[in-house]
A and B are shown apart, each in its own frame.
Chain A
Amino acid sequence: MAQEVIRIENLTKIFRVVHEPPLTFQKALHNFLERKNNCQELLALKNINLVIFESEAVGLIGANASGKTTLLRIIADIYAPSSGAINVKGKVSPSLELGSGFCMEFTGIENLYLYGAIFGLSRKAIGRKIPQIKEFSELGDFLDVPLRQYSFGMRMRLAFSLAANINPDILLIDEMLAVGDLSFKEKCFKKIKELKSTGMTLLLVSHNMDEISRLCDRVVMLDGGEIKKSGPAGEVIGEYNKFMGSK
């Protein structure tokens, strides 16, 4: 039996959504005087139970705002669960959705150093990985250019190359592959399979069912913050297509 890497029990996440947040003092005072409370509780995840094993590839699918990204962020320990328990073993890769997490004023290399450091790698260790990342991303001299001059595709190349080459125990991919061109996508697939065979666990959020069925052993379908269905890729994707079609 493979080892458990992620165990989630009865996890619930509630966001306090402030409509027209009173970010300024004037508004806050106004709200306070009128005894208006425009806070609303938003149930983002409801009673999630999920166990993921080592070197398993799990796909997360669901409509927009169904809680996929929130779940990834809780696994990455960015958000705290409102209730329930979560136990994650191993190092989680940064979940760079479309590379939006990069610092736009800095060059590719500088961003690699920063994220390497966040991931816990020393400057030296990241420096050793840079040739590898440069080769994989095929970005070449663009690595010395500020990120704001990158296209979406290039950012994604950088984000994936970084995440895949720093040997995380758990790789999180949030709709990242969508903007890659065909040849790079194939390269990513190959890399993911290679990493999987060495024991890495993969969590993939995507709206591309082809991607999901090619990469994932198991698929979890979320709807309104709840797990609607979980099981082998083919089965769940069938259900998902039916569900989306009926909407």
Chain B
Amino acid sequence: MLGQIKNIFKFRELLLALLVRGFKAKYKNSFLGIFWSFLNPLANVLIFAFIFTMIIRINIKDYPLYLLCTILPWTFFNSALINSVVSIFEDSHFVKNTAFPLEIIPLAVVIVNLVNFVIDLVILAVVLFFLGRGPGHLWFYLPFLIFIEFILISGLSIFFSAVYVIFRDLNFILNIILRLFFYFVPVIYTLDFVPEGFRLLYFFNPLAVIIDGYAKVLIQGLRPDSTMLFASLLQSVLIFVACCILFNRIRRIIPERL
């Protein structure tokens, strides 16, 4: 495991080159370029805001703003996973011709999405500032939340991208699971809506805790529960380690299956 991280560090130039490629490939020939990463979640916000304030009246204060704060981290999770699952497969030409730590490929995809997310957060911060809602000292929680989410996504991405090479249905399955999982994370609702009996389950959902944390810190002006946050960190690290172990078990057969 430690050797693995060392190995990735050794290939940091490759990671950098893949990042540059990732950004170029993503926004080549598109006029609005990097703003698409903000416009996409914004469209979702508008749709949900319309439904839940005009049609079904949901009782959450400043609902459109709340949505903005939860949909951005959800989009990070969602698009990072969807983009990375096919990444090793799509780079088969490298994988079959040279030896290097394969996990760098999905990792680069996750980092491209991370950078997008951070840019989105900056835009959001500007919006919040002009609305007179910040910056506050609670914003210091943000790097911590981003870090937990990054660890969680990285682990899953590394594992899924390897499995996809062997099992091509994963792509479709993942799409469905993500669509379902969206409703198990407090994006369009807050945790207060969840009945007491079920709320314990959210304790075992690291992403739910993270997204709730963003909402608390950015808009509700509340301090995230430190026990929950710590549990989320622990779970994310465990998932990351488990995914890396599983990845290591199949990594050597990946070039043969491409």
Are A and B genuine complex partners?
yes
CB neighbors of B among A74-127 (8 A): 76-80, 92, 94-97, 100-103, 105-106, 110, 113-123
B10 contacts A120, C-beta separation under 8 Å: yes
- Asked if B133 is at the interface (CB within 8 A of a chain A CB), the reply is no
**B169–A115 touching, CB < 8 Å:** no
Q: List 9 A-B contacts (CB under 8 A).
A: A73-B96, A78-B98, A79-B252, A94-B97, A96-B97, A97-B97, A101-B97, A103-B91, A113-B20
- Cβ contact within 8 Å between A117 and B13: yes
The answer to whether B98 touches A101, judged by C-beta atoms less than 8 angstroms apart, is yes
Chain B residues proximal to chain A, CB less than 8 Å: 10-11, 13-14, 16-18, 20-21, 24-25, 91, 93-100, 167-169, 173, 252, 255-256
Asked if B255 and A23 sit within 8 Å, CB to CB, the answer is: no
Residues B167 and A123 in contact, CB atoms below 8 Å apart = no
With both beta carbons as reference points, the residue of chain A lying nearest to B93 in the complex is identified as A101
Q: In the assembly, what is the distance between CA of A151 and CA of B21, in Å?
A: 23
Q: Are B21 and A106 in contact (CB under 8 A)?
A: yes
A25 at the interface (CB under 8 A from B): yes
User: Are B167's CB and A118's CB within 8 A?
Assistant: no
> A24: CB under 8 A from chain B?
yes
Q: Chain A residue with minimal CB distance to B91?
A: A103
- Interchain CB contact under 8 A, A117 and B11: yes
A15 within 8 A of B: yes
A70 to B209, CA, bound (A): 48
Q: Judging by beta carbons under 8 Å apart, are A78 and B13 in contact? A: no
Give the interface residue-count category, chain A. Answer: 35 or more
B100 cross-chain contacts in A, Cβ below 8 A: 118
Provided the pairs A15-B256, A114-B21 are in contact, do residues A76 and B98 lie with their beta carbons within 8 angstroms?
yes
Decide if B14 touches A117 in the complex (CB within 8 Å). Answer: yes
Do the beta carbons of A118 and B14 come within 8 Å of each other? yes
Of all chain B residues, the one with the shortest Cβ separation from A80 is B252
Q: Are A117 and B16 in touch, CB under 8 angstroms?
A: yes
Known contacts A78-B255, A120-B10; decide if A94 and B98 are in contact (CB<8 Å).
yes
A179-B24 Cα distance, complex, nearest whole Å: 31
Q: What's the Cα separation between A97 and B93 when bound, in Å?
A: 10
Bound: A80/B255 CA distance, A: 10
The distance in angstroms between the C-alpha atoms of A219 and B242, with both chains bound, is 46
State the CA gap A101–B94 with chains docked (Å): 6
A123 B21 Cβ-Cβ under 8 A: no
**Is there contact, CB below 8 Å, between A120 and B256?**
no
Docked-complex contact B13 and A110, CB < 8 angstroms: no
Please measure, in the bound complex, the distance between the C-alpha atom of A206 and the C-alpha atom of B21, giving whole angstroms. 33
B16 touches A78 (CB 8 A): no
Contact status of A123 and B17, CB under 8 A, knowing A25-B169, A97-B97: yes
List B contacts of A113 (CB < 8 A). Answer: 17, 20
Name the residue of chain A whose CB is nearest to the CB of B100.
Answer: A118
Complex-state Cα separation, A80 to B17, whole angstroms: 26
* B167 A120 Cβ-Cβ under 8 A: no
Complex CA–CA separation, A106 to B94 (angstroms)? 13
Verify A123–B13 contact, CB threshold 8 A.
yes
**Chain B: which residue is nearest A106 at the CB level?**
B21
Q: Is the CB of A122 within 8 A of B99?
A: no
Residues of A within 8 A of B11 (CB): 117-118, 120
Contact check, B97 vs A78: say whether CB atoms are below 8 A apart: yes
Given contacts A114-B17, A118-B94, 16 further A-B pairs with CB under 8 A are A16-B256, A23-B169, A28-B167, A77-B99, A100-B93, A101-B98, A103-B21, A103-B94, A106-B21, A114-B94, A116-B13, A117-B13, A117-B17, A118-B14, A118-B100, A122-B13
In the complex, A24 Cα to B91 Cα: how many Å? 21
CA distance A94 to B205 in the complex (A): 43
Q: Contacts of A96 on B, CB cut-off 8 Å?
A: 97
